Structure 1
Amino acid sequence: MIRHDPLAVRVAAIEPLSATLKRLTLESADGGALPIGSAGAHVSLILEGGDRPFRNAYSLVSMPGERGCYELIVRRTAGSRGGSAFIHERLGEGSVIGATVPHNLFPIQRHARKHLLIGGGIGITPLLSYLPALRQGGERLELHQISARDEVPLFENLLAPHAAHDVHVHAGRGALDLSALLARQPLGTHVYVCGPAALMDHVEAAAAALGWPASRVHRENFGAAGGDPFTLRLARSGREIAVGPDQSMLDALEAAGVPVPSLCRGGACGECLTKVTGGVPEHRDHYLTDLEKAEGALVMPCVSRAKNDLLVLDL
């Protein structure tokens, strides 16, 4: 059973890593032990910012199994919906905020013969927790981090505690031939990718072209949800809610005071699954089957949108 009541956590430390990146250390506000997070797990922070709370999901970069604190790395993005800006501008040491318990939709596949890890930019964060877990278990691995040229030293520093012959940092996508990388992997390898959607799509397509089983390709999604504005109509009340071009359906519903269960906020877990009674959804999730998407009777409001001006939800 999924626990929805939030934890109260205190910001124990904030470490600037660059002009746009900060490392946060969070401790239990009551001084007790925190619930355990496994490698690849994330928490959602509940940030009270002005007229509505922000709920942003961040991967744990602390050691798997750590109960004394959670460590996160947060990038302030130019297109921030408010959460990353709030963290960078308004959150200080000693602040008490809400957080969900850790949930893992991107776990290590323990039966893999080898683990191929591919990160793009800040997408390295879940993979940072993979490394100590895989090293401790004596697992065979290979990590490739792709970053902007000016951030190569930053990611080299982040990976320094795990540096070895199998950890590589590349300056830009052009510095790594992803198809060749996938082609030379031994049978039984699983690939894990986290980063911009274009990178993850490229890895999936390249793996499929090489005949990789889909079950051996894993991606982490926290999803961006921008697009043309549209209107939501709530079938049970007739109420209409506008969804802006840089706003997800889930954000718009929460801002309007309409409670919708959510967890990953990236179209992967199914927690916010909602029935559609009118209009045509534009599906962007990785949860519904192709048949369910074609039927158009369900939608994941955390990442998906509408193909027309009005979408009617069974709410």
Structure 2
Amino acid sequence: MTLELRVDTVTEPCSGMRSVAFAVADGGSPPSYPPGSHLGLEWAPGRWNAYSLTGPSITPRRLHITVALRRNGAGGSRWVHRLRPGDRVRSTLPRNGFAPVETARRQLLVAGGIGVTPVLSHVRWHAFWGASFAVLYVHRPGAAPHLAELRELCGDRLRTVTGRAGARAEIHRLVSTAPFGSHLYSCGPPGLTGAVEDAARDAHWVEDRIHSETFTRRSAPGSPFRAVLRRSGRSVDVGAGESLLDAVHRIGIAAPSLCRSGVCGECLTPVRRGAVEHRDTVHAERDGRIALCVSRGAGPTLELDL
């Protein structure tokens, strides 16, 4: 099911960032959604990108996103930065792969740059319900979208830092002083989320209390392999610098996709046979599936139910 949206307002929270508020095109009310949700927007025919929702999630009047301009990206962010009030957009319903654990004793949130977008959604939720939480916002000088909103919502529960050394110290402080039963969430580039995860493991956190989402595509080169598509009766050779998703699309096989970053789970596909090098953050290995957009075959052949 899709939504027909209309661009209501467009603002620029800081250089290189664009915030867009969407209304439902027919005048209805947008659906409520859990914090950490995202929208999939069709930015070209058959091309969809996922963007985190930043606004109030309980009976919202508008659906809000903030997008950093990626000049060398595939084109989705450039499309968002060209949107103007009145433009019509096709969207998925809100989806979530980064929701808070409501039983947590304390919610610890680390945002890096544009990774603040789902963190802001979490903060709105925790502030509304009176949950215990703390936020660390790591950003470049002069590039901190939504900082004023975080300050208003968090008060002294917010810490900000701009340097790597300071970020490492604050991350260590956060994970080493957290009360038992806390949950840790990080969103941002892989270097930041990796540092948060490593610090938590060094402090003996259990894996089920560590949650992360990265906004940087992680389809790094790997060894070439052949994908055998059982339902389609086709095979395709996946090059060292090519994603499995792109290879499948190259031979005309329809496969769903959205974020292209191993985050949303839209392209998860059952594996029939073969080893997988998992690079996603939706834990596809738990149920024998592969994220086509970032993960790869770990051997010469991989058989898929596709």
Q: What is the TM-score when the length of structure 1 is the normalising length?
A: 0.83
**CA positional deviation for 1:35:** 1.6
Aligned runs of 1:1-315 on 2, under 5 Å?
A: 5-48=1-44, 52-89=45-82, 91-152=83-144, 154-176=145-167, 177=169, 178-222=171-215, 224-228=217-221, 234-235=229-230, 236-238=232-234, 240=236, 245=241, 248-251=243-246, 253-254=248-249, 257-262=252-257, 265-268=260-263, 270-276=265-271, 281-286=276-281, 287-289=283-285, 298-306=289-297, 313-315=304-306
- How many residues align structurally? 300
* Offset from partner CA, 1:73-121 (integer Å, 9 cap, x none): 00112441221122223x2221111111111211121111111110011
**CA positional deviation for 1:70:** 0.3
Residue type matched to 1:92 in 2? R
Secondary structure at the aligned position of 1:218 is classed as strand
* Residues 274 and 300, structure 1, Cα contact 8 Å, conserved in 2: yes
Distance 2:240 2:63 in 1: 33
Q: What is the TM-score when the length of structure 2 is the normalising length?
A: 0.85
Secondary structure at the aligned position of 1:129 is classed as helix
Residue type matched to 2:61 in 1? G
* Residues 276 and 314, structure 1, Cα contact 8 Å, conserved in 2: yes
* Residues 219 and 261, structure 2, Cα contact 8 Å, conserved in 1: no
Q: Single out whichever of 21-30 and 268-277 deviates more from structure 2.
A: 268-277
Residue type matched to 1:124 in 2? V
**CA positional deviation for 1:182:** 0.8
* Residues 155 and 169, structure 1, Cα contact 8 Å, conserved in 2: no
* Offset from partner CA, 1:242-294 (integer Å, 9 cap, x none): 6694x64335545665322346654356442324568764320231347x7xx
* Offset from partner CA, 1:40-65 (integer Å, 9 cap, x none): 111111112xxx53211111101011
Residue type matched to 1:267 in 2? G
* Residues 10 and 84, structure 2, Cα contact 8 Å, conserved in 1: yes
* Residues 57 and 222, structure 1, Cα contact 8 Å, conserved in 2: no
Q: Give the fraction of aligned pairs with identical amino acids, expressed as a percent.
A: 31
* Residues 223 and 303, structure 1, Cα contact 8 Å, conserved in 2: no
Residue type matched to 2:110 in 1? I
Residue type matched to 2:122 in 1? Y
Secondary structure at the aligned position of 1:97 is classed as strand
Q: What value does the CA root-mean-square deviation take over the aligned residues? A: 2.8
Residue type matched to 1:202 in 2? A
* Residues 222 and 267, structure 1, Cα contact 8 Å, conserved in 2: no
* Residues 185 and 211, structure 2, Cα contact 8 Å, conserved in 1: yes
CA 1:7 to 1:255, structure 2 compared with 1: closer, same or farther past 3 Å?
farther
Residue type matched to 1:40 in 2? G
* Residues 217 and 260, structure 2, Cα contact 8 Å, conserved in 1: no
CA 1:276 to 1:38, structure 2 compared with 1: closer, same or farther past 3 Å?
closer
CA 1:108 to 1:314, structure 2 compared with 1: closer, same or farther past 3 Å?
closer
Residue type matched to 2:267 in 1? C
Distance 2:61 2:253 in 1: 34
Secondary structure at the aligned position of 1:220 is classed as strand
Residue type matched to 2:108 in 1? L
Residue type matched to 1:159 in 2? L
* Residues 35 and 67, structure 1, Cα contact 8 Å, conserved in 2: yes
Residue type matched to 2:109 in 1? L
Distance 2:212 2:63 in 1: 22
CA 1:56 to 1:255, structure 2 compared with 1: closer, same or farther past 3 Å?
farther
* Offset from partner CA, 1:204-256 (integer Å, 9 cap, x none): 121112111211111124551333385756453436476694x6433554566
Distance 2:183 2:72 in 1: 32
Gaps of 5+ in 1: none
